[in-house]
Structure 1
Amino acid sequence: MPSIESADTDSVAPEPTQPELSRREQRRAASDPAGHPERRHTKRRRRVIVWSSIAVVVIGLGCAIGWVAFQALQAKSALESAQGSVSKIQTQLASLDTTGLAASAKEFADAAHDARVHTDDPLYGFAEGVPIVGPNLTAVRELSTALDNLGSQALMPVVDFSAGLTPDSIRPSNGKFNTALLTTGDATLASADAAIVAQQAAVASIDTANTVGQIGSAQKLMTSALTKAHDQIGKVRTTLATAENVLGMNGTRHYVLAFLNNAETTALGGGPASLSLLTVDNGAFGITDQGSSQNFPTNDGPVREMDQNLINIFSTGINSTLNWSTARPDFPTAGESIKAWWEKYKSEKVDGVISIDPIALGYILDATGPVTLASGEQITGQNAVPLLLHDIYLRYPESEIQAQTDIFFADAAKSIFSGLTSTSADPQTLLTAVNKAIDTGNIMAWSPVAEEQKLMDGSKLQGVLPTDNSKSTVVGTYFRDVSVSKTDYWLATATDFTTDVCQNPQNPTFTMTATLHSTITPEEAATLAPFVTGAKFKGAKFSTQVFVYGPVGAAVTATSAGDTSVSATVLSSASDLGRPVARFQVDLAPGETNTVTATFQGAAGTYGPPILQSTPMMNPTVATATAAGCK
């Protein structure tokens, strides 16, 4: 039997032991053998603070990066919006859409300023020092600043000025143009140009070496655009300076106003039977002298030297008779001759020539309303043509017709000019009427000063034929009265044109047939004074020359006259203004009709759409064309 001691020893449970310490507690115990709990709590708080601080910094950095990224994206969006406005501005400038231009310019200025605001930020500026990203941010900020300056210092001042350029503001008042507009406009453009040059330099100096390609491309595009803007402003300022000269702001100017008589036809409309001198001094203008054909003798030799080829085509009358100075379909030629006539027989030096005829006056008077002459008689849009080209010749005895009509035309010219320059008519309606007269060839102008003549480049105001066929293939038919009469009031004309140029540009042919018909009756012809019917034939017949100008570079291949029972003669073929010319003469008794035909062979080349041109007749020429394949 086992002993009690032995049994007790075996049956007593072992004493409980402490659980195994965690590694963290073991480390803590090792570091704090004395077992101070306060020290352990302090260290724990420090660690929390450190990690919290790191978290705050990380979060702050994230917010800062996000904010900078947001600002950069907003700036990018604003710059893209500004770029879109530039395209609209260019289109509106080309079309002179001032209303649309103002809106687009404001869009540009607002977008550029918005971009500048987004890049003008402390955090954005701080981020510019960050490698890789920083140079891109800097370049965007500098581009934004330049665009904002451009909008506020250049674009908006010009737009604000142009908003005041209304038809009312440019309309003459009390015999004077608003010359202050030109002065203010030039100063505005000069200031804008200085801003453009400064921003161009600023953009060119932007360092894009370490930026993304898009920023470098934007810099190049902007530099190019500013260069073009600078060049364009330079051209506009040159134009303004030229306009200042034209308006006598740098010295008095004298212009001859030639009133063409369509009842006595020449290529450009009619002979300049009445001339007036328009004097312009610092924008103030008025008629200071006048003259009629009686003041310019026809027996005093040529008024100026002229190429013999022109004399061969148009005879010596082209430079020895005032009324035939408009015989060539080229107004610069006429302008030089009219200038020479005035300077030879009058005292003033001529600075330019402007022509206008009763047809143009009719268009303009439709817009302005009637003009009252010194006699109390009114000229209106409806009676201008019949009164000035027909009725006036029936008012006086035969012996007084020339003298009295000269007085009437002088009074009419001065009264009409005064009425037109003081009218209260709607400016846009008046401008539309003037443009119509220019498009139909009833108003033309010429200047001996190259810079001033250049102002009319591309406009029908120049009264010139195109020098090539690339944009349009012009074929012209022109008439000249050689009866020394006023009977083209009764002349009806028509042209019929055929060509295969659009189907066969390498070997095209062009055929023009002109029809002339006298609408006067034998009875009426017999009652008119020889001053009207022409002393040469006294109403028995009326003689008209026809000049058909073919395309540039072509050659005359055939000419013919129509009805052999009616007098029509092929005079010759020639060349003028780089074009072939077929010449005819048609003599018509009252009521007769005849035709003449010219065919041209064109050289291989580029041909624009066919355009028919003719003398601005009192009875408009009826034109028909057959051009297969042409638009």
Structure 2
Amino acid sequence: MHIFSRRPSGHDADGADDAVRDTDEGAGLWQRREVRIAALATVLVSTGFVCWLGIRAVEAKSALEHARSGAQQVKEALMQGDTDAAVEAAERTYAQASAARSAAHSLPWNVAASVPWLGSPLKTTQEISDVVLNLAADVLKPAAQVGTVMSPNSLFQDGRLDVGVLRAKQPALSAIADSAARLDMDAAAISEPAYLGPVGDARAALQDQTSDVAEMLENTALAAQLAPSMMGADGPRTYFMGFQTNAEARGTGGLLGGFGVLRFNDGRFTVDDLGANTELDKPFTPIDLGPEYNEQYGFTNPTTDFRNSNQSSHFPYAAQIWRSMWKQQTGMTVDGVVAIDPVALSYILGAVGSITMPDGEKITKDNVVELTESTAYQRFPDDQTARKRYLQDIANEVVKKMSKPVESPRKLLDALGRAVSEGRIAVWSADAEDQTLLEKTPLAHIVPDDAAPYAEVIVNNLAGNKLDYHLTRDIEYVADQCVGDTRMSTVTVRLTNTLGENPSLPEYVAGSMGLRQDIPVTLPNGTMLTSVRLLATQGAELVGATANGDRTPVLTSSERGHPGFEVQVAIPPNQSGELQFRLSEPTAAGSPRVPVQPLVDEVSPRISVPECSR
């Protein structure tokens, strides 16, 4: 038996099948068309988004570059005293910074920046734009406005600093400096991009720029705090002014060769004629600068003998000694002490112009150092009184030149600033509040009492001659990476006696009169006999020291928490010597510092010390 299924006639069945197939095919075509349309729309939207983001990126990049350039123009204009240019540049910078931030915080940028890892450079750029805008709004624009009344040409006229204006603008300057310091911290906190080197470079450039601006404004605010009181805004101030002869090296620069009294009254200054160091001739009563100082220097009678009064590089020690000597010599109690050297005089002459001595001799920025540190000793080989009078006359003429109207106050302030940065002008105040502020600046010339990496090389002339005019120095400080509690470091000092062989110089220039009589040593004429002392990082320990590659004995001491390591060397004419101190020092936080003792030569220490974070 067969069983058959029931179905319609063949025509009707085929028609039904065709209808079903047509419907399915139509639906499939429509679905595929929807997918293509959606895909096309996605591509179009994505392309538009990328293009939009790209346009905003170009806008942000261009605006940020112009803003950073404008910020530098503001700084340079302020430094040059061109206040109109500073105001214009500040306005341009603000406009560019606003455009950059607007582009960097646009919708496509915000969306893209939120993508993990891929959005990292965009997030960094947003942070950069925020800092640049705040820098323009909170620092550059107000600084330019204050600068309109504080340009050097208006502040310093006819030998007088307008201390009234400086004091009136001090609160505004301090507020701007605080804003700059805050933005410097914000810039330091900008996240490092996960990739895209140019964004990382822009981040680093901005961090350097904000750091420079913050430092400049901090120094300006400090000057506005210090200058009025120290320059006689509240009544006359007097300072002992020591003229250091760095042809005979001492810790603060050079031997105290002459002195005068610097007077300030309402921003105007005068200087009493300089006197010779031999006028400090009383049997002085010593002063107590503490057991550490006495242990290191006491055997040389530094507080009663001006020749040994500034062996330490910590200027407040020398200042207090000189103030005490002057009080005992004259009965005058000065408000502070200032030190200056012939190289600083050369910078000043470069700003105010040359001077002409009564006999017609012309003293310029190019010859004043050689005349005072070398030529004078040969010109007056047997007449010390005449030589000292000659040096005093030069210094007096330079000071008189400064007190008269100068063509460019900006150049004079730049010259003084350079001398201060090199330690060639140092200042100490008997007023505790002023001294606290001074110690935030290079003017104080102090040995810092902190734990950051430190290497200061201090030279003291032991022979009592004037040969350090011919001394050149090379200093290098290197250290290992920041691994562990301590790391190894090396300080290398190279000294060269550039004096030619067989020098024909007076005995007091090239001899060894300062050598102790009980030391049976005979040195060739022109030989440098020098104490070389390294003040190292607090907590550092000496592993070993060498002189020209051979192990050498070392005298140890301490000063203001820093360990001291001293080697005494003799360097004949036209020869060099190398000392190397190998140390184990703490991996302390902070930037490494290598202060340079202000002698005749210029030294640029080489520093290869990684900065540790702890």
TM-score past 0.5 threshold: yes
Q: Is residue 459 of structure 2 the alignment partner of residue 479 of structure 1?
A: yes
**Cα 1:417–1:512 shift into 2, 3 Å:** same
Give per-residue Cα distances to partners, 1:49-91, cap 9 Å, x unaligned.
xxxxxxxxxxxxxxxxxxxxxxxxxxxxxxxxxxxxxxx99x9
Q: Residue in 2 aligned with 1:166?
A: 151
Deviations 1:294-346 (A, max 9, x none): 0123x835542222322332342432321332211211112111211211212
Counterpart of 1:305, as a letter, is: D
Where does residue 134 of structure 2 map in the other structure? none
Q: For 1:200-599, what aligned pairs fall within 5 Å after superposition? A: 243-297=227-281, 300=283, 303-314=286-297, 315-398=299-382, 400=383, 402-470=384-452, 473-500=453-480, 502-504=481-483, 506-524=485-503, 526-530=504-508, 533-536=511-514, 540=525, 541-562=527-548, 570-599=553-582
Structure-2 residue corresponding to 1:68: none
Larger Rg: 1
Alpha-carbon shift at residue 490 of structure 1 (Å):
1.7
Letter in 2 for 1:166: S
Q: What corresponds to 1:618 in structure 2? A: 600
Contact 2:284 2:325 in 1 (8 A): no
Aligned equivalents of 1:344, 1:254: Cα separation in 2: 16
Give the superposition deviation at 1:279.
1.5
Distance 1:505 1:459 in 2: 33
Q: CA deviation at 1:545?
A: 0.4
| Identity of matched residues, % | 23
Asked if the contact 1:374–1:415 (Cα under 8 Å) also holds between the matched residues in 2, the reply is no
Stretches of structure 2 that go unaligned for 5 or more consecutive residues are: 1-69, 93-140, 176-218, 516-522
CA positional deviation for 1:484 = 0.9
Distance across 2 between alignment mates of 1:357 and 1:522: 28
TM-score (norm: length of structure 2)? 0.64
Residue 553 of structure 1 aligns with an amino acid whose one-letter code is: G
Task: Note the C-alpha offset of 1:168.
Answer: 0.8
1:388-423 CA-partner distances (Å, limit 9, x unpaired): 10001111241x1x2012211221121101112325
Deviations 1:524-562 (A, max 9, x none): 1x4423255343568633311011011122222323333
Deviation at 1:581, TM superposition (A): 0.6
Q: CA deviation at 1:362?
A: 1.5
Provide, for residues 568-614 of structure 1, a one-character-per-residue CA deviation record: whole Å limited to 9, x for no partner.
Answer: 96351111111111011112233333232222211243243x33233
Q: Distance in 1 between matches of 2:145 and 2:536?
A: 49
Deviates most, 427-436 or 263-272:
427-436
Instruction: Kindly provide the CA deviation profile for residues 210-261 of structure 1, in whole angstroms up to 9, marking residues without a partner as x.
Output: xxxxxxxxxxxxxxxxxxxxxxxxx999986754332223222111221111
Closer/same/farther in 2, CA of residues 317 and 374 from structure 1, 3 Å limit: farther
Does the 8 A contact of 1:438 with 1:444 survive in 2?
A: yes
What secondary structure sits across from 1:300 in the alignment? coil
CA distance in 1, matches of 2:586, 2:157: 49
**1:577/1:587 Cα in 2 relative to 1: closer, same or farther (>3 Å)?**
same
Alpha-carbon distance in 1 for matches of 2:606, 2:167: 49
1:81-127 per-residue CA deviation (whole Å, 9 max, x = no partner) reads xxxxxxx99x989x9786688579999xxxxxxxxxxxxxxxxxxxx
**Distance apart, 1:272 and its partner CA:** 1.7
Query: What per-residue deviation string (whole Å, max 9, x for no partner) do you get for residues 130-154 of structure 1?
Result: xxxxxxxxxxxxxxxxxxxxxxxxx
1:277 Cα shift? 0.5
Change (3 A) 1:559 1:313: farther
**Is the contact between residue 239 and residue 455 of structure 1 (CA under 8 Å) also seen in structure 2?**
no
| Contact 2:381–2:506 (Cα < 8 Å) also in 1 | no
Q: Matches of 2:425 and 2:90 in 1, distance apart?
A: 36
The letter of the residue matching 2:466 is: K
Secondary structure, counterpart of 1:438 in structure 2: helix
Shift of 1:167: 0.9
1:428-461 superposed Cα distances (whole Å, 9 cap, x missing partner)? 2222222221111111111111222233343211
Give the match's secondary structure for 1:355.
strand
Given the superposition, is the C-alpha separation of residues 492 and 630 from structure 1 closer, same or farther in structure 2, using an over 3 Å criterion?
farther
- 1:530 is paired with a residue whose SS is helix
Cα 1:104–1:492 shift into 2, 3 Å: closer
- Measured in 2, the distance between the counterparts of 1:549 and 1:446 equals 22
CA distance in 2, matches of 1:264, 1:412: 19
Answer whether contact 1:515 1:595 (CA < 8 A) is retained. Answer: yes
User: Are the counterparts in 1 of residues 466 and 508 from structure 2 also a CA contact under 8 Å?
Assistant: no
Q: How many angstroms apart in 2 are the aligned matches of 1:241 and 1:514?
A: 39
Q: Secondary structure at the match of 1:318?
A: coil
Q: 2: CA distance between counterparts of 1:628 and 1:179? A: 42
Query: Counterpart in 2 of 1:150?
Result: none
Distance 2:380 2:368 in 1: 18
**Structure 1 SS opposite 2:310:** coil
Provide the C-alpha distance between the structure 1 equivalents of 2:608 and 2:224, rounded to a whole number of angstroms.
44
Distance 1:507 1:170 in 2: 50
CA–CA separation in structure 1 for the residues paired with 2:221 and 2:555: 49
Distance 1:352 1:411 in 2: 23
* Residues 600-611 of structure 1 mapped to structure 2, 5 A cutoff: 600-608=583-591, 610-611=592-593
One-letter amino acid of the structure 1 residue matched with residue 489 of structure 2:
F
- Aligned alpha-carbon RMSD (Å): 4.0
CA distance 1:591–1:448, change in 2 (3 Å): same
Distance between the aligned counterparts of 2:91 and 2:605, measured in 1? 48
Report the CA distance between 1:289 and its aligned residue.
Answer: 4.8
Does the 8 A contact of 2:237 with 2:335 survive in 1? yes
Structure-2 change in CA distance of 1:391 and 1:308 (3 Å): same
